[in-house]
Structure 1
Amino acid sequence: MRTTRSAAVALTLGAALVLSACASSAPAGEEPAESADATTVTITDNHGEVEVPVNPETVVALDNTIFDTLDEWDVELAAVPKDVMGSVWPDYIDDPEVANVGNHREPNLEVIVAEQPDLIIGGYRFGDYYDQIKQQNPDAVVIEISPRDDEDEFDELKRQTEILGQIFDHEDEATELNEGLDEAIAGAKEAYNGTDTVMAVNTSAGQIGYLAPVVGRGLGPVFPALGWKPALEVEGATDDHQGDDISVEAIADSNPDWIVALDRDAAFAPEEREAGSAPADELIKNSEALQNVPAVQQDRIVVLDPNFYLTEGVQAYTKLFTQLQEAFSAA
């Protein structure tokens, strides 16, 4: 009985050793095969769980909010929408090897197909084309990771950055970017006195538009993040990229202590700007209706970085919050 049991044990051990050797060795001249976990990562994009290749070979990106991050990490792109990128990312815009998808109003989606991408990062201005892009590129993974509606803008940007870090193997750098945003928000919040009223505006083609707290383009989410007291709240306000069309007199009547302005025209070359455009600071200070508001009288006008309208990513907001901290602290 003892002999039979010993033989069985020996046979089992021998089989295990053989299987182990087969699993760990590879034919001469070949590297052992990598596991699926080493080459893909499962992320949750705006549509659900997606298995995405890690460090994909051919990438197309359409979302302006991610270009700063990809450029920092030296991620090569096969195609981008150069017509909505201004001159912010010359590594992509000026490279003839990077194909041009055009703009979101009349995109050339065939350019994407021609590049035979492994990964397409869509969304943002190109969100309406998601289904079409997926249909045209059945062999590519298509994801959208731009900030989702009805979610906290800055949590969404951090989520976006974390996902990019997983895909492009830059998780430590993604963590640093997110921590930098958190620190900038905390600094700007501490610098605000909690009582001054704030008006956010958009300037374009010589006009001053109203950007509503929470929903207003670019600056709306800053209000809840910093606990700003709005100078004016308009029922039915929208996230229109030009701001809501209310009179400058209505802005003046709200008597804001601060005016923070997104200059929509500043990101474009002079020949590309709409007729009548002028710098935001000039428009506000020269407005007859605004002459007596505290923000103008005390020179408490903050104009965002000229490229903010094009970037709007984690780096852009980190810079904005740092700018706001400096302005409010100086006052």
Structure 2
Amino acid sequence: MTFSRTATALLAGLVALATPALAQEFTVTHAQGETTLPGVPQKVVSFDFAAIETLEAIGVDVAGLPGSNLPAHLEKYASDDYAKVGSLFEPDYEALAALEPDLIIVAGRSSTAYPELANLAPTVDLSNEWTNFYGSIKANAEIIGEIFDKEAEVAALIAETEAKVEASRAAAADAGKGLVVLTSGAEVTAYGPGSRFGYIHETLGVTPVIEDVEAATHGDSISFEFILETNPDLLFVIDRDAATGQGAAAAILDNELVGETTAWRNGDVVYIDPVRAYIVNGGLISFGIMADQVTEALSD
């Protein structure tokens, strides 16, 4: 009898050890409210390349993603092993229904589809805020860490990125004043603090040559005369066309007026990685790489 009871107790203990803990429901807060998940997601769809970078860095694979505009550094996801579920702007609801994901991530371009996607599967919106770009990048990474029980891994990524940001700020401290422009076709638009690319000033430490770009330009395209008048020591260029494979910024800006600026004469024109800045548009990994670019350019 004693042996039988002992054996039964031992068997029960072994069964308990072998049985995985039941998944626990939890709720995450994001840009469009709260989403409740029944446990750690196993089949993930992301319409946000920045989130995919972070997921990859912490060892989480996605099952589905947009089928167009895939950055070269995410080339592995072009494989048929990964379902293509629409574009950055338009989900393919039929493909999503067939895939049956247990988490969908949207951000920025895809965020307007949130209500419909949330009816298909638990969905979170990891859109960044232009007025708090770097802060929202870190917060969104922490949401990913929370969802996948990878808080320590995300904390390490944030620490890495913080070090890159500090290096950029140190390099920019005495480097002079800068102007950030986006080129698209023959159009050139300036961006200052508080704008889409304002993080080059606010976070990476570059002193703006003009504080209120919006007031000076009314949000319109700028002329080459404007660039000469502001005469930046540093010119940061994001080539929108290069992001989509048709770059021409260097040719557009190579003219007599821009050529007279301090930045052009001293060779202090920095071409920010357009795919990281425009297509990926956020995320710890790409942000860290852009910070490295600024540091390297200003340390030469």
TM-score normalised by L of structure 1: 0.77
Q: Which residue in the other structure is 1:5 paired with?
A: none
3-state secondary structure, aligned to 1:235: helix
Q: Report which of the two structures shows the higher radius of gyration computed on alpha carbons.
A: 1
In the TM superposition, residue 174 of structure 1 has moved relative to its aligned partner by: 0.8
**Aligned partner of 2:283 among 313, 316, 323:** 313
Distance, in Å, in 2 between the alignment partners of 1:128 and 1:247 is 33
Say if 2:45 is the partner of 1:77.
Answer: no
CA deviations over 1:233-260 (Å, ceiling 9, x no partner): 333589xxxx841222112211111001
Q: Which residue in the other structure is 1:328 paired with?
A: 298
Say if 2:181 is the partner of 1:196.
Answer: no
Q: How does 1:166-205 map to 2 (within 5 A)?
A: 166-194=146-174, 196-205=176-185
Q: Which amino acid aligns with 1:258?
A: L
CA contact (8 A) 1:88 1:307 kept: no
* Count of residues in correspondence between the two structures: 289
Q: Which residue in the other structure is 2:4 paired with?
A: none
Q: How does 1:95-134 map to 2 (within 5 A)?
A: 95-134=79-118
Distance, in Å, in 2 between the alignment partners of 1:226 and 1:119 is 33
3-state secondary structure, aligned to 1:49: strand
Q: Which residue in the other structure is 2:256 paired with?
A: 288
Q: How does 1:1-331 map to 2 (within 5 A)?
A: 25=12, 31-32=18-19, 34-37=21-24, 40-93=25-78, 95-135=79-119, 137=120, 140-148=121-129, 150=131, 152-194=132-174, 196-215=176-195, 217=196, 219-232=197-210, 233-235=212-214, 244-269=220-245, 273=246, 277-278=247-248, 280-284=249-253, 286-308=254-276, 309-311=278-280, 312-330=282-300
In the TM superposition, residue 26 of structure 1 has moved relative to its aligned partner by: 7.8
CA contact (8 A) 1:189 1:227 kept: yes
In the TM superposition, residue 227 of structure 1 has moved relative to its aligned partner by: 4.3
Distance, in Å, in 2 between the alignment partners of 1:44 and 1:29 is 33
CA RMSD of aligned residues (A): 2.9
The runs of 5 or more residues in structure 2 that have no matched partner are 1-7
3-state secondary structure, aligned to 1:259: strand
Q: Which amino acid aligns with 1:283?
A: I
TM-score normalised by L of structure 2: 0.85
Distance, in Å, in 1 between the alignment partners of 2:173 and 2:229 is 22
Q: Which amino acid aligns with 1:254?
A: T
**Whose helix proportion is higher, 1 or 2?**
2
In the TM superposition, residue 62 of structure 1 has moved relative to its aligned partner by: 0.6
3-state secondary structure, aligned to 2:60: coil
3-state secondary structure, aligned to 1:266: helix
In the TM superposition, residue 320 of structure 1 has moved relative to its aligned partner by: 1.3
Distance, in Å, in 2 between the alignment partners of 1:114 and 1:237 is 51
In the TM superposition, residue 130 of structure 1 has moved relative to its aligned partner by: 0.6
